């Protein structure tokens, strides 16, 4: 028999009854039933119930073991009685009667309970992550992660993509976040950067003629953490294709992403035909460029119904500024004053002056609008709003007015709030869509200049002619995002592959041709020697997994994440460099001056 085990803790079944077997694993818990000891033994694969009776030679040792000790057990497999069968365990039809127990490794008092998975402070969980990872839910999430990544790899290979690894030490690149810099010992005073994404390298692979590339790529960004973005590093399904339009990318990747979701959705419905929603439409309809389509609420402009109306707050705003619009947020089943007052109070808690509303109710046979706005604008306008939005008895509508560029995010949050409060959101499905036609540039108010709204290497719609003749802020990009349930899970574009377009696009943001050539020399040179039209995307693996396992936080699907302060509590990183290390790199640490 093997030194440690003949079977795993998930392998035994009724067919093994009567056999003497050997298991090794962790003590999940110990129960004393009137002198009869029960030990739940756990390994990576599952759990087996061990029975130790007082007559067993193993009983004396069994009395000493505690949770999370590592033990080896030899014993006889017996069938459970019908009334004690555990249908929730793979090994629930049998139990192992211990004949010998060997303690392989004792455990100190635990700083973090494994059994039962009670809520526990995150700093403790991260410091003792090796214990946290023993917990069933997190352990299962990590196993599911490996399965999802393997499934992605398989699907990409099946449609003709080859996996290529790109460098980790590279040059700094404007991907929209801070770089992690790595000092060079050999080249004093110079630095490598960890890649924010393999963007330039994968484009160079297309120029090199590899046609279809993909990679499970590590990416590094020195960003502040948040629930849907980890500090430090993350992984993406990165891909690029040559001689393609954006429609080719969509048609290629929809089956892959749909297939991954269907494989791991555990029966939840998955979108079959991904809608393609222009960015501007998404903003005006959902108040977000990553809308949750499970929420049926769609906003509409109702400016005309308030122009010249008796509601002077909105009417005066409309008359004094041509940019002002009034947006309606219809709320089916929300037609009670109590709910409308709650929404108004929520709006005020976010710093807004309030949230105007109308709700409809039947007075006898007549359907009437109620609330201050209804009284001010009159019955005819109130009914016109109801008709436009398709509302009825028991429904409500909320209103936001001003410059949409300034209020659309709040309107989107109000839409989300109403949908969740009224339980209109179907949480048991995965709704995917493409958001397309993103703005190419955006205005940076603080710096009083334009900059790239997304990927600086995207092709502007209209090419060089559009860059030369159109208002930069009116330009659209061949840029697209894949969105699922309110999360951006992928982003991509058709790339610019023409050097003159690349130079002109950067010049409009204030960079000279010389700066472009200096900062993006590899890509700029490559474009001089025959670059094919190409495009691709990158899907955020961590976010996809978070959605599929139903986690609320990316740290629940990641092996060894940092905390909210971007610290690795397990390894103690970041840590100071020694004086010898700093001398070797010709570096000196200058503390930041403290503010008075």
Is residue 430 a contact partner of residue 269, using CB atoms and an 8 Å limit? yes
Cα 106–chain centre separation: 39
Dist CA 560 CA 555 (whole Å): 8
Contacts of 214 (CB under 8 A, 6+ apart): 156, 161, 162, 163, 164, 237, 238, 239, 240
Q: Would you say 540 is a known binding-site residue? A: yes
Dist CA 44 CA 10 (whole Å): 9
Q: Would you say 543 is a known binding-site residue? A: yes
Q: How many residues does the chain have?
A: 596
Contacts of 288 (CB under 8 A, 6+ apart): 282, 409, 412, 486
Dist CA 117 CA 522 (whole Å): 51
Q: Would you say 66 is a known binding-site residue? A: no
Dist CA 493 CA 475 (whole Å): 15
Q: Would you say 223 is a known binding-site residue? A: yes
Is residue 271 a contact partner of residue 430, using CB atoms and an 8 Å limit? yes
With b for 16 or more beta-carbon neighbours within 10 A and e for fewer, the 475-501 pattern comes to bbbbbbbbbbbbebbbbbbbbbbbbeb
Sign of CA dihedral 250, 549, 487, 535: negative
Q: What are phi and psi of 532, to 5 degrees?
A: -75, 150
Is residue 370 a contact partner of residue 386, using CB atoms and an 8 Å limit? no
Is residue 367 a contact partner of residue 374, using CB atoms and an 8 Å limit? no
Q: Would you say 450 is a known binding-site residue? A: no
Q: Would you say 151 is a known binding-site residue? A: no
Q: Would you say 222 is a known binding-site residue? A: yes
Q: What are phi and psi of 415, to 5 degrees?
A: -60, -45
C-beta atoms surrounding 170 within 10 Å: 19
Is residue 539 a contact partner of residue 490, using CB atoms and an 8 Å limit? yes
Is residue 409 a contact partner of residue 287, using CB atoms and an 8 Å limit? yes
Is residue 164 a contact partner of residue 215, using CB atoms and an 8 Å limit? yes
Q: Would you say 80 is a known binding-site residue? A: no
Residue whose C-alpha is closest to residue 51's, from 66, 61, 40: 40
Dist CA 356 CA 373 (whole Å): 7
Q: Would you say 287 is a known binding-site residue? A: no
Q: Binding site for L-aspartate: residue ranges? A: 175, 221, 454, 495
Q: Binding site: residue ranges? A: 175, 221-223, 454, 488, 495, 540-543
Q: Binding site for ATP: residue ranges? A: 221-223, 488, 540-543
């Amino acid at each position: 028999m093997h030194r440690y085990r003949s079977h795993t803790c998930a392998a035994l079944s009724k067919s093994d009854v009567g056999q003497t077997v050997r298991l090794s694993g962790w003590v999940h818990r110990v129960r004393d039933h009137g002198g009869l000891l029960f030990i739940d033994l756990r390994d990576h694969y599952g759990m087996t119930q061990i029975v130790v009776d007082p007559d067993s030679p193993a009983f004396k040792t069994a009395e000493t073991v505690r949770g999370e000790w590592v033990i080896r057990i030899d014993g006889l497999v017996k069938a459970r009685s019908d009334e004690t069968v555990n249908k929730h365990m793979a090994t629930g039809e049998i139990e192992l009667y211990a004949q010998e127990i060997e303690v392989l490794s004792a455990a100190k008092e635990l700083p973090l309970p494994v059994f039962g998975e009670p809520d526990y402070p995150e700093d403790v969980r991260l410091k003792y992550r090796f214990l946290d990872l023993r917990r069933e839910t997190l352990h299962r999430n990590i196993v599911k992660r490996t399965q999802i990544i393997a499934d992605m790899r398989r699907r990409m290979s099946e449609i003709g993509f080859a996996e290529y690894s790109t460098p980790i030490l590279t040059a700094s690149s404007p991907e929209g976040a801070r770089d992690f810099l790595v000092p060079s010992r050999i080249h004093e005073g110079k630095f490598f950067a960890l890649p924010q994404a393999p963007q330039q390298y994968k484009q160079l692979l297309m120029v090199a003629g590899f046609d279809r590339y993909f990679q499970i790529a590590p990416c590094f960004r020195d960003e502040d953490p948040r629930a849907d973005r980890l500090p430090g590093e993350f992984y993406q399904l990165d891909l690029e294709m040559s001689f393609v339009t954006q429609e080719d990318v969509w048609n290629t990747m929809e089956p892959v992403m749909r297939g991954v979701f269907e494989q791991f959705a555990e029966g939840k419905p998955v979108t079959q035909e991904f809608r393609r929603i222009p960015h501007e439409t998404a903003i005006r309809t959902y108040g977000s460029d990553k809308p949750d389509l499970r929420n049926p609420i769609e906003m509409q402009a109702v400016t005309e119904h308030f122009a010249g109306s008796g509601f002077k707050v909105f009417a005066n705003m409309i008359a004094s500024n041509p940019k002002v619009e009034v947006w309606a947020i219809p709320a089916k089943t929300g037609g009670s004053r109590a709910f409308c007052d709650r929404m108004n109070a929520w709006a005020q808690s976010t710093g807004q002056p309030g949230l105007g509303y109308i709700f409809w109710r039947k007075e006898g046979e007549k359907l009437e609008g109620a609330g201050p706005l209804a009284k001010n604008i009159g019955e005819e306008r109130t009914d016109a709003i109801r008709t436009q939005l398709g509302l009825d008895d028991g429904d409500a509508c909320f209103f936001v007015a001003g410059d949409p560029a300034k209020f659309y995010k709040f309107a989107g949050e109000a839409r989300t709030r109403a949908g969740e409060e009224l339980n209109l959101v179907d949480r048991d499905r995965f709704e995917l869509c493409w958001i397309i036609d993103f703005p190419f540039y955006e205005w940076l108010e603080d710096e009083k200049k334009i900059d790239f709204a997304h990927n600086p290497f995207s092709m502007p719609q209209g090419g060089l002619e559009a860059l030369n003749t159109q208002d930069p802020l009116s330009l659209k990009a061949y840029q697209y995002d894949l969105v699922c349930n309110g999360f951006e899970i992928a982003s991509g574009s058709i790339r610019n592959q023409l050097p003159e377009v690349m130079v002109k696009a950067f010049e409009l943001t204030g960079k000279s041709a010389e700066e472009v050539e200096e900062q993006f020399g590899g890509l700029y040179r490559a474009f001089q020697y025959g670059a094919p039209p190409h495009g691709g995307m990158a899907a955020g693996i961590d976010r996809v997994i978070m959605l599929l396992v139903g986690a609320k936080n990316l740290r629940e699907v990641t092996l060894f994440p940092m905390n909210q302060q971007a610290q690795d509590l397990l390894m103690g990183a970041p840590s100071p460099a020694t004086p010898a290390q700093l001398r070797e790199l010709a570096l000196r640490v200058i503390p930041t001056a403290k503010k008075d």
